Amino acid sequence: MSYRFPCLLAVLFAALITAPCRAELPPALQAAAGERTIRDDTVRAFVTPKAILWKSDDSNETIVDEDVLLAKGTRQPATVRAGLCTLKSVPGRPAPALLFDFGVELQGGLQLVMGMSPGKEPVRFRVRLGESVTEAMSDIGGDRNATNDHAMRDFEIDAPWLGSVEVGNSGFRFARIDLLDADRTVFLKEVIAIASYRDIPYLGSFKCSDERLNRIWATGAYTVHLNMQHYLWDGIKRDRLVWIGDMHPETMTICAVFGPDPVVPASLDYARDTFPLPGWMNGISSYSMWWAIIHHEWYRRYGDLEYLRAQKEYMVPLLRQFMAKINDKNEEQLDGHRFLDWPSSENKPAIHAGLQSMMVMTMEAGAEMCRVLGEPELADECRQSAARLRRHVPDPNGSKQAAALMALSGLAPAEKMNREYLAVDGSQRMSTFYGYYILEAMAAAGNHQGAIDCIREYWGGMLDLGATTFWEDFDLDWTKNAGRIDEFTPEGKKDIHADFGNYCYKGLRHSLCHGWASGPTAWMSRHVLGVTIAEPGGKRIRIEPHLGDLGWAEGTFPTPHGVVKVRHEKRSDGSVATTFEAPEQVEVRLAGK
């Protein structure tokens, strides 16, 4: 069973003009470019606006028949003037401008299809793309901190007479266009968003008795899908980069939804080749640890020994480099940028506790990989290093992020970390990146209901504010008296996009589509559906559901041998009845049986 797109995205894909199928390069291009040509794994689709949220002038003098731009078009200019929108610059009136809502966040740009306007000169437009209404209506800079970082989202263009132009390459949901030419009448046929995405099926799926959780699962899947471009990015507006630590939650979501997509190994290899030893990946020591941990997880999921062997030349000295960063007191002494996530970045004791925990996790993962790679002596050194690191137990210093890593590494009892840190104050002091590890640690402590409640409150809080993808960061305190991203902020309310954010993501620079925020998708597949890999390569899986207050849950989970289908029903006595379908090559073991 596979699903091309989750129900949340119907608003986008109901509006698509079918994207062309990919084929081999034309012979002429093959001859001209040869091996210098790079094929991309993405396709394009064309999205009609859902609504026009604003126009600069209501007089009917400068903008006429704008509603025709909401009809599905053909993308083809035509020598007609009927059924077109008229934009006219009139002295004394505001310049004609329109704000479009495409209904859902997407990665790509715009196509403007022009009519046969008077005169044959190009038409000058200003284009502003935005992840929120406010961003699309803002100028660069100022207190709101709108930027053109990583991707141009505010620029001027020339559109041809009786032709079309494709512009922009950013993450956005909203687009504003302004006619810049004075004393000009222009006929505009279509304004279409161009969505660029990897054409892959949604093999994993999730549904349960709580529609809010269903939306959250689908939103996390879509957030990562948008970031699966030629490499796995962290954000589609800002941070269009391969950040290896940020890749870990994204990879877990990809495993739960898409299976072994090649974007993950391509991005791991890109980082390996870009950051040679003894440097740390992205300059961050913890990110080199995440690289090793991702490789261990990828091998467990898909059993690709050949690919793991290709990492040996880099992996072995990397593990030895980590071992050299343990002092005689069994403390990690990692250099480079010492970082967990932004909200914990000023808490140095918490960072030490987190890095100590990650060192344990890395050494344990390294021991397993070295065993498989035929390096028994190094495997034993990794195990001994992990044992040494366990003799030093730091204080998490009030940090949920550090407490989560201590629980997951076994450096501290999960039940203790949950009781003293993770379950305190509900979803307060969460982060979108390390929220995934907080949820995992709560599950390790048996607090599945608490984790489900956090998902509803924290990630659901973004949905309540109009999100269609999950954000770079989020704080529940921001929601107090805040407006939605898909509306003009009412007077007296806070602007959720422009008025908040910290560190590198202040104001409108804040990314509203960040793959590291997708953790609940992977978490619900693993802990609510209860599907875990019991043997490298997915030949044996274990099913142990934790429904909490849910009445039922069902879904699919991809393995290298095909999709496993699972359904759980809660009986009147509180017990759970489970049914499943699995490929012949996959052995399924139910918990307690």
- Looking at 3.40.50.740, 2.60.40.10, 1.10.630.10, 2.60.120.260, the CATH number of the domain 9-198 comes to 2.60.120.260
3-state secondary structure of 106: strand
The predicted structure's pLDDT at residue 23: 57
Half-sphere exposure of 300 (CA within 13 A, CB side): 17
Structural contact between residues 119 and 212, judged by C-beta atoms closer than 8 angstroms:
no
Q: CB under 8 Å to 556, separation ≥6 — which residues?
A: 1, 2, 3, 203, 204, 205, 563, 564, 565, 566
E strands of 446-575, at which residues?
531-533, 540-543, 552-559, 562-570
Q: Cβ distance 224 to 267 under 8 Å?
A: no
The reported pLDDT for the residue numbered 392 is 98
Could you give the residue ranges of the DSSP H alpha helices within 154-262?
211-227, 244-257
Taking Cα atoms as reference points, which of 345, 210, 349 lies closest to residue 284? Answer: 345
- Residue spans of the chain under pLDDT 70: 1-23, 25, 33-37
Torsion angle, alpha carbons of 346, 473, 518, 428, to 10: 70
What is residue 81's predicted lDDT score, i.e. its pLDDT?
85
Cβ atoms within 10 A of the Cβ of 198, count? 18
CA-closest candidate to residue 513, choices 456, 464, 473 = 473
- Determine the pLDDT at residue 48: 97
Contact in structure between 171 and 513 (CB atoms under 8 Å): yes
Ordered by start, the domain boundaries in the chain are 9-198, 540-590
Residue 227: Cβ-neighbour burial (10 angstroms; 0-12, 13-18, 19+):
buried
Backbone angles phi and psi of 571, in degrees to 5: -80, 170
Give the single-character DSSP code of 370: H
How is 296-326 classified by DSSP, letter by letter?
A: HHHHHHH--HHHHHTTHHHHHHHHHHHHTTB
> What pLDDT score was predicted for residue 119?
87
Q: Find the radius of gyration of the CA atoms of the chain.
A: 26
Burial 444-467 (b: 16+ CB within 10 A, else e): bbebbebbbbbbbbbbbbbbebbb
SS3 of 8-25: the string is HHHHHHCCEECCCCCCCC
| Residue tagged 């284009």 (tokens) | 127
Instruction: State which amino acid sits at residue 391.
Output: R
Determine contact, residues 190/113, Cβ cutoff 8 Å: yes
The predicted structure's pLDDT at residue 2: 44
Give the pLDDT confidence score for residue 39 in this predicted structure. Answer: 72
Looking at residue 591, what is its pLDDT?
87
Sequence-ordered list of residues with C-beta below 8 angstroms from that of 407, at least 6 positions apart, any chain:
413, 414, 417, 418, 422, 441, 444, 445
